[in-house]
Amino acid sequence: MSDFFQHFGQTVAFIAITAVVIGSALAATFAKSIVHASFALFFTLLGMAGYYFLLGADFLGITQVIIYVGGILVLLLFGVLLTSRSLDQLQIRSRASYIAASAVGLAVLAMLWKAIIRGPWQHVTPVVPQQTTQSLGRLLLTDYLLAFEFSSVTLLAALIGAAYIVRRREK
């Protein structure tokens, strides 16, 4: 009985999050206004964080919120809001390109769908991790030490590039 409800609760949460994610992703794709599309993305990204919380990966979920919602989406919105109003309404150039794009998209979707359905996925018994933060920290400084340190070089390069691009012209 309790077990049933345990699964039931998780299933309901999963379905609810999935509905939000897919619904908002579709809204982002088909929105006429680029601003609406960007705001729809907010719910997609938040829903992804919801998945992580549902899987017990609390640190990852919070990181998702900080990076995607607090960082990337804000940047995207700044970009959208600072561009000219004439770009506000997305224009589909022609019916033909619309159909071609849809066809390619559907073909890719079909391919990925088949790959997912047929996939020899590795099944692991789900374990709710205890102390995700500590474990992550430990892994980052042992097994993934190089990746952790090297990512700072990646970010440094991005930072130098960003600083260079936005700098005022010297002359």
Partner 1 sequence: MSAFTAQTLANCRAIAPELALIAALMAVLLVDLALLSRRSTGASVWVAVAGLGTAFALLTRFQPTDAVIFSGAIRLDSLALFFQKIFILGAMAVCLFTAANAEIFAEYRMGEYYALVLSATLGAMFLAAANDYIILVLSLETLSLSSYVLAGYLRVDRRSSEASMKYILYGAVASGVMLFGISYLYGMTGTLRIAETFAPLRQGTQSFTFFVAFALLLCGIGFKISSVPFHNWTPDVYEGSPTPISAFLAVVSKSAGFAILLRLVLQAGMAAPGFDVAAAARHLTASGLDIVFWILAAATMTVGNLVAIRQTDIKRLLGYSSIAHAGYLLMAFTVMNSAAWDAVLFYFVVYYLMTLGAFYVAITLEAQTGTTEMSACRGMWVASPYLVTAMVVFLISLTGLPPTAGFPAKLKLFKVLIDAALGTGMPRGPWFYLSLALIGVGNSVVSLYYYFKIVRAMTLERFETLPSIRLSVFDLAAMGALLVAVIFLGIYFQPVEEFVQTALSSLGGAARVVGGL
Partner 2 sequence: MQEFVHFLQHDVLARISPPLGALPDQIVLLGAILVGAAPIVAFMAVIAMAWTYGERRIAGFIQARYGPNRVGPEGVLQPLADGIKLLAKEDIAPAGADRPLYELAPLLVFVGALLPFVALPFSEKWVISSMAAGVFYVLAFEAIEVIGIIMAGWAPNSKWSLYGGMRLAAQMVAYEIPMGLCLLTVVALAGTLNLGQICQMQGGAFGVGNWMVWPWVSPFATLAFFMFFVGGLAATKRAPFDLPEAESELVAGFHTEYSGIRFAFFFMAEYAAMYVVCAVATVCFLGGWHGPFREWLAPAAGAPTISDLLGKAVQVKTADGAWFVWANLWGALSVLGKWAFWKPMLYELLGAFYLIAKSFFLLFVMVWMRWTLPRIRIDQVIYMCLKVLLPFSLLCVLGAAAQTVFTDWNLLHWLLSAGK
Interacting residue ranges for partner 2, rule: CB under 8 A: 1-2, 5-6, 8-9, 35-36, 39, 42, 46, 58-59, 62-63, 65-66, 69-71, 73-74, 77-78, 81-82, 131-134, 138, 141-142
**Residue 156 touches which of partner 1, partner 2, none (CB < 5 to 8 A by kind)?**
partner 1
* Contact residues: partner 1, CB under 8 A: 111-112, 114-116, 118-122, 124, 142-147, 150-151, 153-154, 156-158, 160-161, 163-165, 169-171
What are the backbone dihedrals phi and psi of residue 169, each rounded to the nearest 5 degrees, phi first?
Answer: -65, 140
Nearer to partner 2, 97 or 135 (CB): 135
Residue identified by tokens 């509905």 is 19
Q: How far is the CB of 107 from partner 1 (least distance, A)?
A: 12
The CA distance from 132 to 55, in Å, is: 11
Residues in CB range of 24: below 8 A, 6 or more apart: 40, 41, 42, 43, 44, 47
Contact, 16 vs 51, CB < 8 A?
Answer: no
Residue type (1 letter), 144:
Y
Cα distances (Å, whole numbers) of residue 35 to 20, 26, 32, 71: 18, 14, 9, 17
**Residue 118 touches which of partner 1, partner 2, none (CB < 5 to 8 A by kind)?**
partner 1
Residue 131's region, left for phi above 0, alpha for psi from -120 to 50, else beta, is left
Nearer to partner 2, 70 or 105 (CB): 70
Q: How far is the CB of 79 from partner 1 (least distance, A)?
A: 12
Q: How far is the CB of 121 from partner 1 (least distance, A)?
A: 5
**Residue 62 touches which of partner 2, partner 1, none (CB < 5 to 8 A by kind)?**
partner 2
The CA distance from 12 to 18, in Å, is: 10
